[in-house]
Structure 1
Amino acid sequence: MKIKRICCIGAGYVGGPTMAVIADRCPTIQLTVVDVNQARIDAWNASDLTQLPVYEPGLDAVVARARGRNLHFSTAIDASIASADMVFISVNTPTKRKGLGAGQASDLRWVEACARQVAAAAKGHTIVVEKSTLPVRTAAVIKTILEATQKEDPRRSFAVLSNPEFLAEGTAIDDLESPDRVLIGGDDVSSIDALAEIYSHWIATEKILRTSLWSSELSKLTANAFLAQRISSINSIAAFCEASGADVREVARAIGTDSRIGPKFLNAGPGFGGSCFQKDILNLVYLCRHFGLLEVANYWESVVTLNIWQQHRIACLVVEKLFGTVTGKRLAILGFAFKANTNDTREAPAIRIARDLLEEGAKLSIHDPKVAEAQISRDLRLKPTAFATEALNGSGGWSQAASIEETVEGADAILILTEWQNYRYLNWSSLAVLMRQPAWVFDTRAVVEPADVRAAGLKLWRIGDGED
């Protein structure tokens, strides 16, 4: 089967960049990314490429080459499905907040809604591809919905594939253009071949792996669980290093040279964030409990528990170092995105740390080169507040600063929470004179040069050694 037209439902962090790269590499295929959010579609169609709703290095150039040629963004969902040979489902699957499995299971309402919309609008034979991260056997739900429609109208037929994304935000374009692997799960060989043929335009055949549907779905959850496990593991060792006098960077370098372990994901920090790690592990926990694997569920749940503990621990350390109280004190927060080179704040460590400090009555001045004030307000569930004087009434507040200098003006401490490149090369001597002394730097990402910070007369706590 030759694919000529593709529709992707969901214009978010996965759907938009993925379809942009496919369009760039496969100019003979027409791709339409659809979404119910008109403002998001308008942003994807904006003439100013700096206004794209997703910030990823290199994404603007890819969109510029393909948009209007064979890459389109639209809210005409039914029409785009009807004309497509292949439909990708790339919608959000957050953790359920209420009901059965609340706090762990994935909320699949939008996936089911997409399946029903495809069932109603599709024409002829349509390959439906799961792109969202989904629990094992979700494809069975999609198949059941589609097969019911097929029985009603034999002129229409469907095949379901699992093609999970393995993207790291901040490097998503590189990950799409030069992936470690592409995973396609399914039981219809011709449909698998059709999707594999698309990827073969720029990806070597040996990197395109074929599995069953269930193995493909579980592989995505397992990959994220293993990566998150490494982060929690090294952060636990970082706390031990601080207590024992060791240096976590030296420990990480020593164990990373072991070929069985490797050096990746051994950077201690404030914990993992993003849309996938916590959600996918909790989903895995829920599924393990569902199948009666309680010890396995408890094991994976501990990875999330330690991640949350790490963030509370950092907030407590700040309070402790600042004479046991931050009430009325101005704290400069450098970085709010969950990692550098993205504007995504989902499950960002900065959120929990900031909330803890706000609860303690701190006045936070927040700087991030890509995260908008409105997003910070939503994440903190608190509107920004102008605070010109130091108040001791116990009420915390925050504001966003336009520059690093404005952020640190009058601050008792600087917290580096995101590893943006420009935070690595700050002029500490000039910043120190703007702060209220004695002043601290809390480097949760180990990006500063300790000697430069101390030479400026600032006290330093750094993740994994922390001695000052």
Structure 2
Amino acid sequence: MDHAPNAVATPIRSICCIGAGYVGGPTMAVIADRCPHVQVTVVDLNAARIAAWNDPDLSRLPVYEPGLDAVVGRARGRNLSFSTAVDAAIAEADMVFISVNTPTKTRGLGAGQASDLRWVEACARQVARCAQGHTIVVEKSTLPVRTAEAIRAILAAAERESEGPTPSFSVLSNPEFLAEGTAISDLEQPDRVLIGGEDPAAVEALAGLYGAWVPPDRILRTNVWSSELSKLTANAFLAQRISSINAIAAFCESSGADVQEVARAIGTDSRIGPKFLKAGPGFGGSCFQKDILNLVYLCRHEGLDEVAHYWEAVVTLNTWQQHRIARLVVNRLFGTVTGKRLAILGFAFKADTNDTRESPAIRIAGDLLEEGAQLAIHDFKVPAERMAADLGLEPTPPDAGGGPGAAALSGEGAWWPAASPEEAVAGADAALILTEWQAYSALDWAALASRMRQPAWVFDARGVADAAAVQAAGLRLWRVGQGESAP
């Protein structure tokens, strides 16, 4: 559907966003920055997270995104606030964004594929209980098709059962299309803003907010169902490109072709384009796998088994790529890594973020730990406690003299955080580059090689290392989609 832009819209004066995570925090910060006349309150029940958003030291924000600190610094204390007072913020708001986590269900109907919507439903019920007057409710979380229908049913019940002044609601879908690491530029200069809804006035009220900085031709209006499905489809298509180029990368390694040259050649085709053709250890993050599995579940629910199998294969190949890299490391290191030190360079799922959700490093490191490896893990933004939670294993550093710890002597896998790449590679048989931090492309491999146990390897799963410098340092090199080369 396409609403007429001249539909009468009530000006929005106050916004409440439920959820202070990777989507809610940056999105609301940019809206507040670009719409100084609108009061924006981000609420969350996690008091520690809210305290971090309110920390006077902007370098301690709970979400790391380039440019986010500057945006928060301009708006916080003016028209942007962070609070745990959820009920009060809902009551004061003209518009409520629901931006809570929607993880994949771990048990029950649809376990392993369907989205767990318990937090979304809880938010809808809280809005129904606390809202006053007319409130526009906006889905901002990534949600399966027809979720808005459930939210609308909950809110409609509140309209019928109200004993005081009757509240009223409009429900919109406004999916986010952010890429972590570039979220602020994605918000400030979006390819498109998608708004799905059946109430023209509500649609135009939200469009009016974005219109403060987004060109009119980039604000797309659809029905709710198309909006919800567009988000799942966009992520499925992007993930499919990553699995496709990684499948070709494996073939390149076997055949002698170079995946970078292949990607460059096909990327010049205007029908394909160059983006998302970078071979690597597979996709990660909070959305791609979750959204594809949800799409698989929905397709099976509709009896479209062949379609479900197609999209499921995208996730299967992604997992295979990560296991393949771990197996390759073991095979190149004389068939065993038990007791050997390996440097893991990068733990975030991509550069310029501290997010580790579904990071390829988790599965690769986990496989190596199962093989008894001793891992020194370095990342510029991921703290050790996050690594421990993701690996399900507390850190066990080597003994004070630098010798093997008890785990190494027993053949058990162990890991510890390293403060720098230099510290990580000390005594290591190999270094694995698993996150494409820019600094890893400029490492002094001659200096690093002198710290490693020879013969040593560099496994560049991101294709960012200076290949000539690695080989000149006397190190063996494996690069994704190119295979191995001797010094």
Q: TM-score range with shorter-chain normalisation? A: over 0.9
Q: Secondary structure at the match of 1:246?
A: coil
Contact persistence 1:248–1:464 (CA under 8 A): yes
Measured against aligned partners, the alpha-carbon deviations of 1:137-170 in whole angstroms (never above 9, x if no partner) come to 0000000000000012262100000000000000
Which residue matches 2:7? none
Residue identity opposite 1:112 in structure 2: E
Instruction: Give runs of aligned pairs for residues 154-169 of structure 1, distance below 5 A.
Output: 155-169=166-180
Which residue matches 1:280? 291
1:142 paired with 2:159, answer no
Contact persistence 1:185–1:212 (CA under 8 A): yes
Alpha-carbon distance in 1 for matches of 2:423, 2:464: 21
Instruction: Give runs of aligned pairs for residues 145-224 of structure 1, distance below 5 A.
Output: 145-153=154-162, 155-224=166-235
Residue identity opposite 2:476 in structure 1: K
Q: How far did 1:282 drift?
A: 0.1
Structure 2: 5+ residue runs without aligned partners?
1-9
Measured against aligned partners, the alpha-carbon deviations of 1:358-388 in whole angstroms (never above 9, x if no partner) come to 0000000000010000000000000000223
Q: Secondary structure at the match of 2:410?
A: coil
Residue identity opposite 1:89 in structure 2: I
Alpha-carbon distance in 2 for matches of 1:71, 1:232: 40
Contact persistence 1:327–1:362 (CA under 8 A): yes
**Among candidates 397, 404, 411, match of residue 386 of structure 1:** 397
1:422 paired with 2:439, answer yes
1:43 paired with 2:60, answer no
Q: How far did 1:11 drift?
A: 0.2
In the comparison of the two structures, how many residue pairs are matched? 468
Instruction: Give runs of aligned pairs for residues 83-122 of structure 1, distance below 5 A.
Output: 83-122=92-131
Q: Secondary structure at the match of 2:36?
A: coil
Alpha-carbon distance in 2 for matches of 1:394, 1:159: 60
1:403 paired with 2:417, answer no
Contact persistence 1:273–1:348 (CA under 8 A): yes
Alpha-carbon distance in 2 for matches of 1:163, 1:178: 16
Contact persistence 2:342–2:429 (CA under 8 A): yes
Which residue matches 2:451? 434
Q: How far did 1:392 drift?
A: 4.4
In the superposition, the TM-score normalised over structure 1's length comes to 0.99
Q: How far did 1:296 drift?
A: 0.1
Q: How far did 1:181 drift?
A: 0.1
Measured against aligned partners, the alpha-carbon deviations of 1:321-345 in whole angstroms (never above 9, x if no partner) come to 0000000000000000000000000
Alpha-carbon distance in 1 for matches of 2:208, 2:92: 20
Which residue matches 1:72? 81
**Among candidates 450, 456, 464, match of residue 447 of structure 1:** 464
Alpha-carbon distance in 2 for matches of 1:437, 1:152: 74
Q: Secondary structure at the match of 2:323?
A: helix
Q: How far did 1:2 drift?
A: 0.7
1:19 paired with 2:28, answer yes
Q: How far did 1:451 drift?
A: 1.1
Alpha-carbon distance in 2 for matches of 1:386, 1:311: 25
1:467 paired with 2:484, answer yes
1:239 paired with 2:256, answer no
Q: How far did 1:450 drift?
A: 1.0
Q: Secondary structure at the match of 2:284?
A: coil
1:372 paired with 2:383, answer yes
Which residue matches 1:268? 279
Q: How far did 1:13 drift?
A: 0.2
Q: Which runs of 4+ in 1 moved over 4 A?
A: none
1:52 paired with 2:61, answer yes
Contact persistence 2:476–2:484 (CA under 8 A): no
Contact persistence 1:181–1:209 (CA under 8 A): yes
Alpha-carbon distance in 1 for matches of 2:149, 2:241: 32
Which residue matches 1:293? 304
Aligned-residue RMSD, C-alpha: 0.6
Q: How far did 1:393 drift?
A: 2.5
Alpha-carbon distance in 2 for matches of 1:152, 1:448: 63
Alpha-carbon distance in 1 for matches of 2:211, 2:395: 49
Q: Secondary structure at the match of 1:219?
A: helix
Alpha-carbon distance in 2 for matches of 1:231, 1:257: 17
Contact persistence 1:327–1:392 (CA under 8 A): no
In the superposition, the TM-score normalised over structure 2's length comes to 0.96
Q: How far did 1:394 drift?
A: 1.8
**Among candidates 337, 343, 350, match of residue 354 of structure 2:** 343
Residue identity opposite 2:416 in structure 1: S
Measured against aligned partners, the alpha-carbon deviations of 1:399-442 in whole angstroms (never above 9, x if no partner) come to 00111111100000000000001101000000000000000000
Q: How far did 1:447 drift?
A: 0.3
Alpha-carbon distance in 1 for matches of 2:354, 2:105: 24
Q: How far did 1:174 drift?
A: 0.1
Contact persistence 1:170–1:341 (CA under 8 A): yes
Alpha-carbon distance in 2 for matches of 1:460, 1:405: 18
Q: Secondary structure at the match of 1:467?
A: strand
Alpha-carbon distance in 2 for matches of 1:218, 1:103: 19
Residue identity opposite 2:80 in structure 1: L
Q: How far did 1:182 drift?
A: 0.1
